Chain A
Amino acid sequence: MEKRVTFSNYWLAGLFIAPQLFLVFTFFYWPTGQALYWSLTLEPPFGGGNQFVGLQNFMAVFGDAHYWDSVIRSLVFALGTTAISVGFATVLALFADRGLFGHSIFKFAYFLPYAVPAAAVGLAFRFTFTPDAGIFGAVNHIIPGLWDPSRNGGQALFMIMLGQAWKMAGYNFVFLLAGLQSVPRSMIEAAAMDGAGVFRRMRDMQMPMITPTFFFLFVINITDSFVDSFGMIDVMTRGGPSRATELMVYKIYLDGFEAKDYSLAAAQSMLLMLLIMVMTIFQFRYVERRVHYN
């Protein structure tokens, strides 16, 4: 049984949590409530008398083929970035964990990208992947028209996926490294005595032992890619070319703030929130409990 310190004085306890509750309410529950209200009404763009329309906004969203396209795109984006980012971070963590020369410098350097704001990452990637200069300029010079994310939608989406994956890799790296370092040394040594080489030990011992970390990171990465990709898309492609990078979160922005259809945007926000809530509940209920060995 877990021991807890409990308050017998509820007034004092309430006083202590009041500032936090106030913040959470002001910046989370109130806007969420407002969005929920908007999603059920028809909101004129310049304010003034709104009208209750029930689930009509949701029906409009569900009936919109562009919306479903953005959902599929978001899923591809989420799974793709997560796979790239976690996969890449795993390789880095496995080698950093081996304590090779200079590993403390690498540990610091690998985490650094996570501290860069998404918009800055977007800007950097936009310049790096621009088709008419730098490395891709050279590539296009040899094979004209091979790389152009401003015209090729697939390439544009891939570019943003790389940016998001690059940014999250540092975060994933830290968790994976911590997971690897909690694997008992003697177990790895036992595997070495059993004849397993470095790569074999990584595959048979270290990777299975950090499955809980993998599951945790999958959920976190997917959630993050749903909401945090906004800055990068806005800087790099603004949803284009021809909606190729219009993910759910960016479509909300376009419908709400460009097309000024607050109600439709609010309904989509509600749906995105629901999706993220389901993922979070999944994480708490299943992931955090199931994958344990001892």
Chain B
Amino acid sequence: MSEISIRGVMKSYGRNTVIHGVDLTIAAGAFAVILGPSGCGKSTLLRMIAGLEKISKGDIAIDGKVVNKLEPRERGCAMVFQNYALYPHMTVADNIGYALKVAGVSKDERAKRVNEVAKSLALTDYLGRKPSELSGGQRQRVAMGRAMIRQPKVFLYDEPLSNLDAKLRVQMRAEIRKLHNQLGATSVFVTHDQVEAMTLADQIIVMNAGRVEQVGTPSEVYRKPATRFVASFIGAPPMNLLEAKVTGRTEVAIGSRHLMTPHHGLANGQSLIVGVRPEDVSSISGETLNVSFVEELGAQRFVHGTFEGQDFVVQQPPSDSSDKPATVVFSIRPETIHLFDAASGLRIEPVSVTAPAPAFA
């Protein structure tokens, strides 16, 4: 079990900075998922932990030991790559056992350990095959086996499931989590898929444009998104975000409609973003949505439309009718509203009414 701490880490290629100072602690034995859109620097961060990219600035410490200058093999990490990166000229057994061979482990010992790992991954029948003779899921498992056999302190996963079909992905996801629980090592998993992140993680790290937007448990990230970006990234479909103006201490205006909000304590006329999740919208009449299309998902349906000229989505219970209504009535309960600063995108926490309002400098 090893704690990973990342302190003020930056990465630049020439004058182009791709990671702007990341501070992060991943607890020993935790399953951390780095989530973000493509190009946000999440893979680069992972590769810096692995030692495959140089760290431009800052420190990365594994188990309290700064590893900046260490070679990948000296860091005690194992990595599963997106395209598996198996050795095509070696058999499955040689692929899994390569790390041991390099480490100079005797042939018998190697065979024994390869067999153990292969057994735990149901690969025993395929040990003599070449990677090109395996299916995607099997290749994925070989890649896992190659990482497992070294009994590393840290497992690094670089979007390992993105090349699999949907069904296999769900299955492998469960296997990865099960393995993590068995092995007890620290895992860092990079993905752009929020479902993977929510289901796997103890700790989600949401990244955007080279910065960490929020660190928290899956439910924290979902219930209390720290920034407008996190709100728009997590959830399917994502949170509705509406431009609004403050018209009272517990009231905002969206276009011509006034909406009750939690006590925000902002000055009248200030602009802010009101967020509400499609699943939190209540079906009690109040507001009107001009429907543009309906997404039928079976268990529920999402009605897309515009509200006061802005895009808005409402979740509805399943229905037998398949026709598209012209309008849908809905209302927003104040306690389901998230508020974000219009300029900085940061979350505005509601002011507790009983406590004195904090003095703003």
Q: Does B102 contact A (CB under 8 A)?
A: yes
Number of interface residues of B (CB under 8 A): 25
With contacts A293-B89, A294-B132 known, is A192 near B73, CB below 8 A?
Answer: yes
Complex: how many Å from CA A193 to CA B80?
Answer: 10
Q: Does B78 contact A (CB under 8 A)?
A: yes
Please count the residue pairs between chain A and chain B whose beta carbons lie under 8 angstroms apart in the complex: 64
Interface string of A174-210 (1 = CB under 8 A from B): 0000000000101101111111110010001100110
- Contacting pair A193 B83 (CB below 8 A): no
Determine the main DSSP class of A at the interface with B. Answer: helix
Q: Does B146 contact A (CB under 8 A)?
A: yes
Complex: how many Å from CA A195 to CA B103?
Answer: 7
With contacts A208-B89, A293-B89 known, is A194 near B52, CB below 8 A?
Answer: no
Complex: how many Å from CA A208 to CA B89?
Answer: 7
- Contacting pair A194 B150 (CB below 8 A): yes
Complex: how many Å from CA A204 to CA B71?
Answer: 18
Question: Which chain A residues lie closer than 8 Å to B103 at the CB level?
Answer: 195
Complex: how many Å from CA A190 to CA B102?
Answer: 13
- Contacting pair A195 B73 (CB below 8 A): yes
Complex: how many Å from CA A33 to CA B299?
Answer: 81
B52 partner, pick from A189, A197, A205, A294, beta carbons under 8 A: A189
B83 partner, pick from A184, A194, A209, A294, beta carbons under 8 A: A184
Question: Which chain B residues lie closer than 8 Å to A195 at the CB level?
Answer: 73, 99, 102-103, 150
B240 to chain A, nearest CB (A): 39
With contacts A195-B103, A196-B102 known, is A190 near B79, CB below 8 A?
Answer: yes
With contacts A195-B102, A200-B102 known, is A187 near B72, CB below 8 A?
Answer: no
Complex: how many Å from CA A284 to CA B146?
Answer: 37
Interface residues of B in 23-45 (CB under 8 A from A): none
Q: Does B81 contact A (CB under 8 A)?
A: yes
- Contacting pair A205 B73 (CB below 8 A): no
Question: Which chain A residues lie closer than 8 Å to B150 at the CB level?
Answer: 194-195
Question: Which chain B residues lie closer than 8 Å to A197 at the CB level?
Answer: 71, 73
With contacts A205-B87, A293-B89, A294-B88 known, is A192 near B52, CB below 8 A?
Answer: yes
B104 to chain A, nearest CB (A): 10
- Contacting pair A193 B50 (CB below 8 A): yes
Question: Which chain A residues lie closer than 8 Å to B71 at the CB level?
Answer: 192, 197
Q: Does B98 contact A (CB under 8 A)?
A: yes
A46 to chain B, nearest CB (A): 61
- Contacting pair A194 B102 (CB below 8 A): yes
Interface residues of B in 295-309 (CB under 8 A from A): none
With contacts A186-B83, A293-B89 known, is A191 near B77, CB below 8 A?
Answer: no
Question: Which chain A residues lie closer than 8 Å to B88 at the CB level?
Answer: 187, 209, 293-294
- Contacting pair A193 B102 (CB below 8 A): no
Question: Which chain B residues lie closer than 8 Å to A205 at the CB level?
Answer: 87
Number of interface residues of A (CB under 8 A): 19
B137 to chain A, nearest CB (A): 18
With contacts A209-B89, A293-B89 known, is A193 near B72, CB below 8 A?
Answer: yes
B129 to chain A, nearest CB (A): 13
Complex: how many Å from CA A205 to CA B88?
Answer: 9
B85 partner, pick from A187, A200, A208, beta carbons under 8 A: A187
Question: Which chain A residues lie closer than 8 Å to B87 at the CB level?
Answer: 187, 190-191, 204-205
Complex: how many Å from CA A125 to CA B72?
Answer: 46
Most buried by B among A184, A193, A209, A294: A193
- Contacting pair A186 B102 (CB below 8 A): no
Question: Which chain A residues lie closer than 8 Å to B52 at the CB level?
Answer: 189, 192-193
Interface string of A82-102 (1 = CB under 8 A from B): 000000000000000000000
A13 to chain B, nearest CB (A): 39
- Contacting pair B83 A191 (CB below 8 A): no
Complex: how many Å from CA A250 to CA B112?
Answer: 60
A192 partner, pick from B72, B82, B130, beta carbons under 8 A: B72
Interface residues of A in 30-61 (CB under 8 A from B): none
B38 to chain A, nearest CB (A): 17
Q: Which residue on B lies nearest to A183, using beta carbons?
A: B88
Question: Which chain A residues lie closer than 8 Å to B51 at the CB level?
Answer: 192
Question: Which chain B residues lie closer than 8 Å to A191 at the CB level?
Answer: 87, 98
Complex: how many Å from CA A205 to CA B101?
Answer: 13
Q: Which residue on B lies nearest to A186, using beta carbons?
A: B85
- Contacting pair A193 B73 (CB below 8 A): yes
Question: Which chain A residues lie closer than 8 Å to B77 at the CB level?
Answer: 193
Interface residues of B in 222-264 (CB under 8 A from A): none
- Contacting pair B78 A193 (CB below 8 A): yes
Complex: how many Å from CA A95 to CA B185?
Answer: 36
Interface residues of B in 258-313 (CB under 8 A from A): none
- Contacting pair B81 A186 (CB below 8 A): yes
Question: Which chain B residues lie closer than 8 Å to A293 at the CB level?
Answer: 88-89, 130, 132
Question: Which chain B residues lie closer than 8 Å to A193 at the CB level?
Answer: 50, 52, 72-73, 77-79
A184 partner, pick from B85, B130, B132, beta carbons under 8 A: B85
- Contacting pair B81 A189 (CB below 8 A): yes
A203 to chain B, nearest CB (A): 11
B46 to chain A, nearest CB (A): 12
A207 to chain B, nearest CB (A): 10
Question: Which chain B residues lie closer than 8 Å to A204 at the CB level?
Answer: 87, 98
The contact sample of 10 A-B pairs, CB cut-off 8 A, is A189-B81, A190-B81, A190-B86, A191-B87, A193-B79, A194-B102, A196-B98, A197-B71, A205-B87, A293-B88
Taking A191-B87, A204-B87, A209-B89 as given, write out 16 further A-B residue pairs in contact, using a Cβ cutoff of 8 Å, ordered by the A residue number. Answer: A184-B85, A186-B83, A189-B81, A189-B85, A190-B79, A190-B81, A190-B87, A191-B98, A192-B72, A193-B77, A194-B73, A194-B146, A205-B87, A209-B88, A293-B88, A293-B132
Q: Which residues of A contact B (CB under 8 A)?
A: 184, 186-187, 189-197, 200, 204-205, 208-209, 293-294
The 10 closest A-B pairs by CB, nearest first: A195-B73, A186-B85, A194-B99, A190-B85, A293-B88, A195-B102, A208-B89, A193-B79, A192-B72, A186-B81
